[in-house]
Amino acid sequence: MNEAWIILGATSSMARAFARTVAARGDAVFLAGRDLEDLNATRHDCTAHGARLAEVVTFDARKPEGFAAIIDRLEREDGLINAVVFVGSMPEQSAIDADPGLIDGTVTDSFTGPARLLQMIAPLIEARGGGTVVGVGSVAGDRGRIGNYVYGAAKAGFHTYLSGLRNRLTRSGGHVVTVKPGFVDTAMTWGIEGMFLVAAPQKVAEDILKAVEKKRNVIYTPFFWRYIMLIIRSIPEPIFKKMSI
């Protein structure tokens, strides 16, 4: 059956790598984001890589009034509709400390904005009896740390949302994959001290597609982050609270 992907946050390098990977399968891609010039470049790239169809749609996590138009477009597309969420924002924790108002935007970008749109896409998946939602969260959502706990909290909320959505969609043949990437070699991590075992976006994209094909529920990428996070989660709170990692 024809498959189409709505890719939210399609300007990120991970999203771009993923778009290329599904384009090469001949799928349709809807590239959603704010930087239309950049999305347009990716649209051409997807076409050249073999996408059956590639289109740009405007998506701003903070402007839900634009969501209906996206749903309209998806409804007109037949076949299975898949959605993948790469959006999120991570202001420096110090910036948030200085301006707590930044919390709202961080939570909207990383959790409630995309969740709101997924909530509108869910009926489409139910009606068609299939389709996959991929939510890219973060290992930062597994435990709150001094360095980025607002972003972490937003992603933790998103993880819980995805788990609930999985519980819902599975009843009608849909599926939800929660992806928790470790450090990925993107503009977000470029030049930040203390990065290790940084994965290429292409590697993450391939891991995600594999997880979709195998209907995995929750994946860490690269896989060893599952064990790193297992250890981090198992540190008792009295000790953890004194650590700075």
Partner 1 sequence: MRWKKTDYTGWGRALHASAEIARPERLSALKALLADAPAPAIGQLRSYGDAALNTGGRAIDMTRLDRILGFDAETGVVEVEAGAKIGDLGRIFAARGWIPPVMPGTGFATVGGCIANDVHGKNHHVVGSFGQHVTEITLLQGDKPRKLTPDKTKVLFKATVGGLGQTGVIASAKIQLMPCKGDMMVLTERRVDGWEEFLSVLENSRADYNVGWIDATAKGVNLGRGILEEGEITSGVSPTKGKARDVPFNAPHWALSAPVVRMFNEVYFRRVPAGGRTTVKPISAPFFPLDAIHNWNRLYGKRGFHQFQCVVPMDQAPALRQMLDLIANSGLASPLAVLKRMGDGRAGYMSFPMEGYTLAVDFPNRSGARVLIGNLERMTEDAGGRIYFAKDALSGPDRVATMYPEHGDWLKAVAKADPDGAMITDLVRRLNLRNTK
Closest distance to partner 1 from the beta carbon of 45 (Å):
4
The one among 192, 236, 238, 242 contacting partner 1 by CB under 8 A: 192
The one among 45, 55, 60, 126 contacting partner 1 by CB under 8 A: 45
Closest by CA to 217, choosing from 165, 171, 153, is 165
| Residue (48 or 146) nearer to partner 1, CB | 48
| Residue (37 or 72) nearer to partner 1, CB | 37
The yes or no reply on residue 37 touching partner 1 (CB under 8 A) is yes
Q: Which stretch binds partner 1 (CB under 8 A): 79-87, 136-144, 184-192, 236-244?
A: 184-192
The yes or no reply on residue 191 touching partner 1 (CB under 8 A) is yes
Exposure pattern of 203-239 as b/e (b: 16+ CB <10 Å)? bbbebbbebbeeeeebbbbbeebbeebeebeeeeeee
Exposure pattern of 157-172 as b/e (b: 16+ CB <10 Å)? bbbebbeebbeebeee
Q: Which stretch binds partner 1 (CB under 8 A): 9-17, 55-63, 136-144, 176-184?
A: 9-17
| Residue (47 or 160) nearer to partner 1, CB | 47
Strands (E), the chain: 3-8, 28-33, 53-58, 80-85, 131-136, 174-181, 218-221
The yes or no reply on residue 44 touching partner 1 (CB under 8 A) is yes
The one among 49, 52, 143, 203 contacting partner 1 by CB under 8 A: 49
Query: Which residues, 50 to 109, sit near partner 1 by CB under 8 A?
Result: none
Q: Which stretch binds partner 1 (CB under 8 A): 85-93, 96-104, 138-146, 186-194?
A: 186-194
The yes or no reply on residue 197 touching partner 1 (CB under 8 A) is no
Write each residue from 133 to 172 as x if it is in contact with partner 1 (CB under 8 A), else as -, in one continuous string.
----------------------------------------
Helix, strand or coil, per DSSP, at residue 81: strand
Phi and psi of 217, rounded to 5°? -90, -60
DSSP string, 84-152: EE-------HHHHHH-TTHHHHHHIIIIIHHHHHHHHHHHHHHHHT-EEEEEE--GGGGS--TTTHHHH
Closest distance to partner 1 from the beta carbon of 107 (Å):
24
Look up residue 157 and give its two tokens.
């909320």
Contact 29, 81 (CB under 8 A): no
* Footprint on this chain of partner 1 (rule: CB under 8 A): 11-13, 16, 35, 37-38, 41-42, 44-45, 47-49, 186-187, 190-192
